[in-house]
Amino acid sequence: MIKMSQPVELTLPQPYLLFLGDERDPAHAKTAFGLRDWARASCIGEYALPESTVTTGLPRFTPEDAYRSGARSMVIGVAPAGGALRSTWIPALKAALEAGLDLISGMHGRLADTETLGATAQRLGRQLHDVRRPPAGIPVASGRPRTGRRLLTVGTDCALGKKYTALSIARELRARGVEADFRATGQTGILIAGGGIPIDAVVADFVAGAAELLSPDAAADHWDIVEGQGSLFHPAYAGVSLGLLHGTQPDVIVVCHDPSRHEVAGHPGFPIPALEEVIAQNLALGGRTKATIRCAGVSLNTSKMSEADAQACLLNYSTRLQLPCADPIRGGPALARLIDAVLGGA
């Protein structure tokens, strides 16, 4: 669905066959569900071992049938506790290679480190894609202005909706006939987009350079919607966020926030900063490489609220900040106003 108009160095063969292994817990299948929800047109179907009770609801294929139907890779769509490849999967992964499919993994370990897979892939000339590994040859950032328009989702913390917000905005823009590409910076986003750069795995000196590579020169009315990472106020990851902000040179930022969160996840004692401060600091620092940077509005994650509470919360933040505030998952007029502000200038 969301496709990249211009490949960066890391690109993935599509369409995908989604592998569910022997998984019995739907909470471990977020990658497969994310691909179904955000990249349906890139997914041929699913393949699960007999022991699995999880399903995406997509058509079921064997690797052989999937290849014949056009699939070009099999994505490991589940992440069991521990995040490692399970030995029970190996025969199925090997069978996929033998059927003609590449393998794609967003897991920590390298596929090639499993000897059977490395040897089989080499013998057959298949590729093993570890999307947590950045491509080689990323340059140091130049700071040179680029053509086209860019939006970066930034946040008050990690894991509160920067990817979903970017995907939603890209989809809304395309629905209005605006040329827009989602640019992925994390493993799930990369699988959805079919390419991208895992920005937090890049060597520190090259983070801004990776961001420049990810959203290259484009037509004047084309938008790159870049998936943000971390937060300028995060005690561990702020440097990643700043490199991404500088390298992206965004015309527009959208700030993502979860009103129910009061401390940085995993870092008790670090309060979530006020939205006013987050907006001001992103604009101040982002202005270094993009003087005209502006904030179009706020994306609130209201997933824990009732519809009535969510609408009251959106109105409350919108009044307080004098900016459009929307929950992209809820959509509606609030999201339309946010998109208007993205496109509309100041």
User: Under the rule (CB under 8 A), what is the footprint of its own copies?
Assistant: 140-143, 199-205, 207-209, 232-233, 235-244, 246, 267, 269-270, 281, 284-285, 288-289
Question: Between 172 and 251, whose beta carbon lies closer to its own copies?
Answer: 251
| Pairwise CA distance, residues 149 & 245, whole Å | 14
CB of 196 to its own copies, least distance (A): 15
Instruction: Provide the token pair at 76.
Output: 């490991």
Q: Which is nearer to its own copies, 33 or 237 (CB)?
A: 237
- Which residue lies nearer to its own copies by CB, 169 or 244? 244
- C-alpha distances (whole Å) from 216 to each of 160, 210, 244, 267 are 27, 10, 14, 35
Dist. CA 137–CA 141, nearest whole Å: 12
Question: What is the smallest separation between the CB atom of 205 and its own copies, expressed in angstroms?
Answer: 4
74 or 202: whose CB is closer to its own copies? Answer: 202
In angstroms, what is the minimal distance from the CB of 280 to its own copies? 10
What torsion do the CA atoms of 130, 133, 135, 139 make, to the nearest 10 degrees?
170
Residue whose CB is less far from its own copies, 63 or 189: 189
Whichever of 236 and 315 has its CB closer to its own copies, that residue is 236
For its own copies, the closer of residues 280 and 315 by Cβ is 280
Smallest distance from the beta carbon of 142 to its own copies, in angstroms?
A: 7
- Give the other-Cβ count within 10 Å of 132's Cβ: 16
Work out the burial of residue 70: count CB atoms within 10 Å of its CB; fewer than 13 is exposed, 13-18 middle, 19 or more buried. exposed
CB of 111 to its own copies, least distance (A): 19
- Please state the closest distance from residue 346 (CB atom) to its own copies, in A: 23
Which 3 state secondary structure label does DSSP give 28?
helix
Q: Which amino acid is at 90?
A: I
Backbone angles phi, psi at 45, to 5 degrees: 170, -160
Taking the C-alpha atoms of residue 141 and residue 144, their distance in angstroms, rounded to an integer, is: 8
Nearer to its own copies by Cβ, of 153 and 302: the residue is 153
**CB atoms < 10 A from the CB of 108, how many?**
13
Provide the minimum distance between the beta carbon of 223 and its own copies in the complex, in angstroms, as a whole number.
22
**How is 59-116 classified by DSSP, letter by letter?**
PB--HHHHHHTT--EEEE----TT----GGGHHHHHHHHHHT-EEEE-SSS-GGGSHH
Decide: residue 81, CB within 10 A, 0-12 exposed, 13-18 middle, 19+ buried.
Answer: exposed
Output the smallest distance, CB 285 to its own copies, in A: 7
